[in-house]
Amino acid sequence: DGGITQSPKYLFRKEGQNVTLSCEQNLNHDAMYWYRQDPGQGLRLIYYSQIVNDFQKGDIAEGYSVSREKKESFPLTVTSAQKNPTAFYLCASNGRRVEAFFGQGTRLTVV
Partner 1 sequence: DQQVKQNSPSLSVQEGRISILNCDYTNSMFDYFLWYKKYPAEGPTFLISISSIKDKNEDGRFTVFLNKSAKHLSLHIVPSQPGDSAVYFCAASVRISYNQGGKLIFGQGTELSVKP
Which residues are CB-contacts of 44 (< 8 A; sequence separation ≥ 6)?
Answer: 35, 36, 37, 38, 58, 59, 60
Pick the binder of partner 1 from 2, 83, 98, 111 (CB under 8 A): 98
Pick the binder of partner 1 from 21, 33, 60, 78 (CB under 8 A): 33
CA distances to 27, 36, 62, 84 from 81, rounded to whole Å, are 32, 16, 8, 9
Pick the binder of partner 1 from 23, 92, 108, 110 (CB under 8 A): 92
> Which residues contact partner 1 by CB under 8 A?
4, 6, 30-31, 33, 35, 40-45, 48, 50, 58, 88, 90, 92, 94-105, 107
